Amino acid sequence: MAKTSKPAVSDELPKQTESPQGKKKNAPAKTLGRSMAGFKTLVAVVVVISLVAGAWWLQLYWQADRQAMSEHMAALAAKVDGLELNYKSTDKAIFEQSQRIEEVEKFTTDLGLILSQQNQRLRELNLAASDNRVIAEALHLSQIASWRVQTERSNRIPLALLNNADVVLSRLEGINIATAREVLAADIQALQRVDTVDYEALFLELSLMATNINQLKMVTSAPTLPSVTKPSVTKPSTADIEGVSDILEGFIDNLGQLVRIRQHNQPITPLLDAADQKVVRHNLLFQFQYAQTALLRGQQSLYQQSLTAAKAALEQYFQQSTDLQTILQRLDQLVDTRIAEPLPRVDASVQAIQALMQSSQVELLESQEQNQ
């Protein structure tokens, strides 16, 4: 039994001696594990902070980008609105132009219908005699003259048409044309009594007058008054001065209640600097342009008002000279010129020739019935 117990003792001694050394070896391993856990925790915190910072930065960038996008969209919307307004104005102008074109086409169509009706009427009449053809020609000329009187301001073309109609009627023989020719002569005289206005020459004259005004000199200084010599007087004393001043003030007060200045012997001319002179010249140019526009449109009142205003400015702001007097005299003549005098109607000539046509047709029908 003793032999068996010894080995057991020897086996237990080494185990007791090895346990402290094992503990010393496990201590560094535990410290390394703790440091690795702390490092992982720090890395995780840094990653979380980075993610939070990145998310915050992305949110700010997204908001800024969204704001910029909204501003860009607003600018695009404003541009689109501007383009829509331009398109609307263009469409309106196109619509107005199309309406004008339609009016012109309608006028042309009506004129074509009138001419076709006249041609149809001529065909229906079936003029068999040369006299009827001549009367139809004179009637056509008188109708064109009546239409031109209503659409034009010049009597030149209507006069030529009526004179041609009279010449055509004068070729007739064997027909009583005296009444028709008397009516034609009365209408021709009425047209001749209308004063003809050369609109082109008048327009060019106004342009030349506006150009010549730039060469006139304007008023730049006040008129000089005649010098007055002062009489030599002796210096009075202070008491005399006070007494005289009191008397003079009383006399001036009493005289001011009796005397009122109502008119100056010389006109008060305003003084103008370079800028004011430029404005006055531009205003004069505008007045002449208004007069030219009124001349082309036949607006008598606007024409006279523009020339009257130009004349008043010339008299007020320009120095007296021969050229200025010539322009003012011509302006007086132009103001009295009638530019919109209406032309007399010539319907009486048309009716007289129509009556002549009807009487000729009646005579032709009667002659045909007698022949049958």
Structure tokens at 329: 């005299």
Give residue 3's pLDDT.
45
pLDDT tens sequence across 81-103: 888 888 888 888 888 888 889 88
3-state secondary structure of 228: coil
Mean pLDDT score across all residues of the chain: 76
The CATH architecture annotation of domain 127-194+342-371 reads Up-down Bundle (1.20)
Task: Average the pLDDT over each of 42-51, 115-124, 148-157, 173-182 and give the range with the smallest value.
Answer: 115-124
pLDDT beyond 80 at 43: yes
Q: Is the torsion defined by CA of 361, 367, 371, 372 positive or negative?
A: positive
pLDDT tens sequence across 225-271: 334 344 444 444 555 445 556 665 665 565 455 545 454 454 555 55
Task: Average the pLDDT over each of 32-41, 91-100, 315-324 and give the range with the smallest value.
Answer: 32-41
User: What integer is the mean pLDDT of 94-113?
Assistant: 88
Q: 135-140: long-range contacts at Cβ-Cβ below 8 A with a sequence spacing of 24 or more?
A: 135/169, 135/172, 135/353, 135/356, 135/357, 135/360, 136/357, 137/168, 138/165, 138/166, 138/168, 138/169, 138/353, 139/165, 139/350, 139/353, 139/354, 139/357
User: What integer is the mean pLDDT of 288-307?
Assistant: 87
pLDDT beyond 60 at 124: no
Give residue 270's pLDDT.
53
Q: Band of the pLDDT at 223, cuts 50, 70, 90? A: very low
Give residue 164's pLDDT.
92
Task: Average the pLDDT over each of 60-69, 123-132, 146-155 and give the range with the smallest value.
Answer: 123-132
The contacts of residue 300 (CB under 8 Å, 6+ apart) are: 294, 338, 339, 340
The CA distance from 151 to 282, in Å, is: 35
Q: Where are the domains of the chain?
A: 79-126, 127-194+342-371, 197-217+270-340
The dihedrals phi and psi of 318, each to the nearest 5 degrees, come to: -115, 150
Give residue 16's pLDDT.
45
User: What integer is the mean pLDDT of 180-189?
Assistant: 89
Q: Band of the pLDDT at 308, cuts 50, 70, 90? A: very high
Give residue 122's pLDDT.
59
Give residue 363's pLDDT.
75
Give residue 235's pLDDT.
47
pLDDT beyond 60 at 156: yes
**Residue found by looking up tokens 């021709």 in the block:** 188
Task: Average the pLDDT over each of 15-29, 38-52, 67-81, 194-208 and give the range with the smallest value.
Answer: 15-29
What percent of the chain clears pLDDT 90, i.e. is strictly above it?
4
Can you state the angle between helices 178-192 and 347-371, rounded to 10 degrees? Answer: 170
**Residue found by looking up tokens 């560094």 in the block:** 28
